[in-house]
Structure 1
């Protein structure tokens, strides 16, 4: 996270100006990269700006232990399934269900589609297995939220076996508070972030996400080519 202007201002007699300048340039470069990825996402959406829509929220401005405490409290009351996964001991059993489904597949191109908490479960299984996946599709995903990334078993990255990752969200979806995976999940060229319109009551419904052309078309192309 970029430092404030007060933190970046040199003190009287400061002899580390070059080091400070280098740090500030690095922070600026990181910020410009994130804004570029967000601009790409907005451009790819092909939709007019939502009236009154705000840019995605970033991580809570707290040290990691503070973020963890707030995140734990939030999910306990608002997202009970996420709380059960990260803090209630249900994570291994949830991942085992996904593993069993993947193990039962027999040949052909593999496309994995995940929604909401399911995107976290599928992602962690693929990180663990490095299974070859032609396309990973995540919709309404909280994987871009720093407080979620804090609790992943491995540092954020594109799973080794995933050739392409397509992530779609609606700006009004409260589960997908941050809409760009590319800044944190390298290599960035494998990830495409898309903003779509989800007109379900909470802008998070899976049916409305899967009905979007931007979500369906890449899956259809893969299976049409395999026929």
Structure 2
């Protein structure tokens, strides 16, 4: 209960969703080669899928799955939802190919972490064709250590960062993220089922 109050206070303290100056956790204070070596060692032992994507050669195959899914879609507004490493995959595919996307939703995303940004194929920016980007995270989510994409992914007016309460056991569950109003509301609005 205390955590819920803290999250709400953090959210209410900011006049608009955006940079969270009070959340300074950002970068390991090492030169890039040192950060890369440390990041590689950490993910090799703790996050096997992330290691496979960035260092194990599986990145192209993972991106191909999403590219095929996008190629199979035609007509109507497109909403892309990514979670965890899926946010990185979705982001990189959308940066590679211009595709009209009404809304990109990222939950539990590591995209704001400098060590992840160091590994991206292109510098951080809102992918061409993405009209709006909603990024949601929980302060206790260990994958989304930095909660604000907006300062680094221009143009900033297309990115909205929101803090939500993910009460799953690990605070990273996609189910708990998708049940949150700030995550669902913009999706429902696009498809005409939400508040106008």
- Shared topology, TM-score over 0.5? yes
Q: Which structure has the greater CA radius of gyration?
A: 1
Q: Is the 8 A contact 2:11 2:163 kept in 1?
A: no
Corresponding residue for 1:135? 103
- Say which structure is richer in helix: 1
Q: TM-score, normalised by structure 2?
A: 0.88
Q: Which runs of 5+ in 1 are unaligned?
A: 1-38, 47-53
Matched, 1:187 2:158: no
Task: Report the secondary structure of 1:224's partner residue.
Answer: coil
Deviation (angstroms), 1:111? 0.3
Displacement over 4 Å in runs of 4+: 39-42
Q: Aligned runs of 1:79-158 on 2, under 5 Å?
A: 79-158=47-126
Offset at residue 45 of structure 1 (A): 8.9
RMSD: 1.8
Aligned mates of 1:44, 1:206 — CA distance in 2:
27
TM (norm. structure 1) is 0.76
What secondary structure, in the 3-state scheme, does the structure 2 residue paired with 1:153 have?
Answer: coil
Determine the structure 1 residue equivalent to 2:5. none
Label 1:44 to 1:92 Cα distance change in 2 as closer, same or farther (>3 A). farther
CA distance, structure 2, for counterparts of residue 186 and residue 116 of structure 1: 21
Q: State the match for 1:6 in structure 2.
A: none
* Cα separation, 2, equivalents of 1:219 and 1:44: 23
Name the CA shift for 1:64/1:132 in 2 (closer, same or farther; >3 Å): same
C-alpha distance in 2 between matches for 1:124 and 1:40: 29
Cα 1:42/1:60, change in 2 over 3 Å: farther
Tell me which residue corresponds to 2:134. Answer: 166
Aligned residue number for residue 71 of structure 1: 39
Whether the 8 Å contact between 1:45 and 1:194 is mirrored in structure 2 is: no
